[in-house]
Amino acid sequence: MNAPFPIRKECPPGACICDRDRLLADPNADIRILRLTREEEKRLVARLESISSFEDLKHMEARMHALLGIVLHITPSVRGVRTVRGISIEVEAQPGLCRKTREAIPAAIRRCFERKPEIVYALLDSYDLLGGGQLAP
């Protein structure tokens, strides 16, 4: 299949479970995810690490879904959040999405959360886990 854009090189055999070949074989498949070359993945991870606000995070979620078909779920734990590790960050599996990419995206977002805790507070507030109250100084 000839794509109208550069596509990701295939992973070494046995190293990934992305089903890239099956995706390319299906003429009706959504191949947007294959636009995420290794260089583009590095740029995406750097951009995710540099998110500056909760609105910026939501914007990046929407852009990743629109451009690549990546569905991202960021939810706080129902048992409470004491650290950034208490927030679940999951990338839905999809054909063509490399296993390493599925691990790199949440890791980049966690690094961002550790540097910018105000994003975590806004996320928790969006789930009303702060109860609409103000944080103590």
Domains of the chain, residue spans: 20-126
* pLDDT over 70 (residue 42): yes
Burial label, 97 (beta-carbon count in 10 A; 0-12, 13-18, 19+): buried
The answer, yes or no, to whether residue 81 has pLDDT greater than 70, is no
Residue 40 CA to residue 50 CA, distance in Å, equals 15
Q: Decide if pLDDT at 38 tops 60.
A: yes
Task: Write out the E strands in 6-100.
Answer: 72-76, 87-91
pTM of the model: 0.83
pLDDT of residue 62: 96
